[in-house]
Structure 1
Amino acid sequence: MSISPAPLIVIGGGQSGLAAANAAVAAGLRPTVLHAGAEPVGSWPGYYDSLTLFSPARYSALPGTTVGGGDPDRYPTRDEVVDYLRRYATTIDAEIRTGVRVTAVRPRPGGGYLVHTDTGDELAAAGIVAASGSFGNPYVPLLAGRSNYAGELTHVAHYRRPEPYVGKRIVVVGAGNSAVQVAHELAHHGTVTLAARAPIQFVPQRIRGRDLHYWLQVTGGDRMPRWLLTRLVRHASVLDTGVYRDALARGLLTRREMFTAFTPDGVIWPDGASEPVDAVIFATGYRPDLGYLAPLETLRQGMPAHAGGLSTTHPGLAYLGLEFQRTFSSNTLRGVGRDAAHVIAALARFVSAGHWRWRR
Structure 2
Amino acid sequence: MRGPLDVVVIGGGQAGLAAGYHLRRLGLDFAVLDAGAAPGGAWRHTWDSLHLFSPAAYSSLPGRLMPPQPGETYPDAAHVVGYLADYEQRYELPVHRPVRVTGLHRAGELLRAETDSGTWQARAVISATGTWSRPFVPAAPGRTEFRGVQLHTVEYRTPRDFAGQRVIVVGGGNSGAQIAADLAHDADLTWVTLREPRYLADEIDGRALFDAATARRRALDEGRADTGGVASLGDIVAVPSVRAARDAGLLKAQPMFTRLTPTGVAWADGMTSEADVIIWCTGFRPALSHLAPLGLRGPRGHIPTTGTRAIGEPRLHLLGYGDWTGPASATLIGVGRPAREAARAIAALLR
TM over 0.5: yes
Identify the match of residue 296 of structure 1 among 294, 297, 301.
294
Are the counterparts in 1 of residues 69 and 75 from structure 2 also a CA contact under 8 Å?
no
CA distance in 1, matches of 2:260, 2:74: 37
For 1:142, the equivalent position in structure 2 comes to 139
How far did 1:246 drift?
6.1
Q: Report if aligned partners of 1:133, 1:289 keep a CA contact under 8 Å in 2.
A: yes
The one of 256, 267, 280 aligned to 1:269:
267
Query: What does residue range 1-360 of structure 1 map to in structure 2 within 5 Å?
Result: 2-70=1-69, 74-108=73-107, 110-119=108-117, 121-206=118-203, 212-213=205-206, 220-226=211-217, 227=220, 228=226, 230=228, 233=231, 237-240=235-238, 244=242, 247-248=245-246, 250-300=248-298, 301-325=300-324, 328-352=327-351
* Partner SS for 1:126: strand
Partners of 1:237 and 1:216 in 2: how far apart?
Answer: 11
Task: Measure, in 2, the Cα distance between the counterparts of 1:235 and 1:313.
Answer: 34
| Paired letter, 1:351 | L
The CA deviation at 1:92 is 2.4
Which residue identity does 1:333 align to in structure 2?
Answer: L
* Number of aligned residue pairs: 343
- Give aligned-pair identity as a percent: 35
**TM-score, with length taken from structure 1:** 0.89
8 Å contact 2:44–2:81 — kept in the other structure?
yes
- Supply the distance in 2 between the matched residues of 1:180 and 1:262 (Cα, whole angstroms): 21
1:205 Cα offset (Å): 3.2
Q: 1:241, 1:4 → 2: CA distance?
A: 46
Distance 1:270 1:257, change over 3 A: farther
**Alpha-carbon spacing, 1:92–1:118, altered in 2? closer, same or farther (3 Å):** same
Listed one character per residue, the Cα deviations across residues 137-179 of structure 1 (whole Å, up to 9, x for unaligned) are: 0111011111111111110111011112111111111111111
Q: Which amino acid aligns with 1:116?
A: E
Q: Offset of 1:329 from its aligned partner?
A: 2.2
SS of 1:256's partner is strand
Q: Which stretches in structure 1 are left out of the alignment for 5+ residues?
A: 353-360
Cα distance in 1, alignment partners of residues 27 and 233 from structure 2:
40
Q: Secondary structure at the match of 2:236?
A: strand
| Alignment CA distance shift 1:78-1:243 (3 Å) | closer
Partner of 1:357: none
What letter matches 2:311 in structure 1? T
Residue aligning to 2:223:
none
2: CA distance between counterparts of 1:286 and 1:236? Answer: 19
1:134 is displaced (CA, Å) by: 0.5
Q: Partner letter of residue 4 of structure 1? A: G
Query: What is the SS of the residue equivalent to 2:147?
Result: coil
2:181/2:245 contact within 8 Å kept: yes
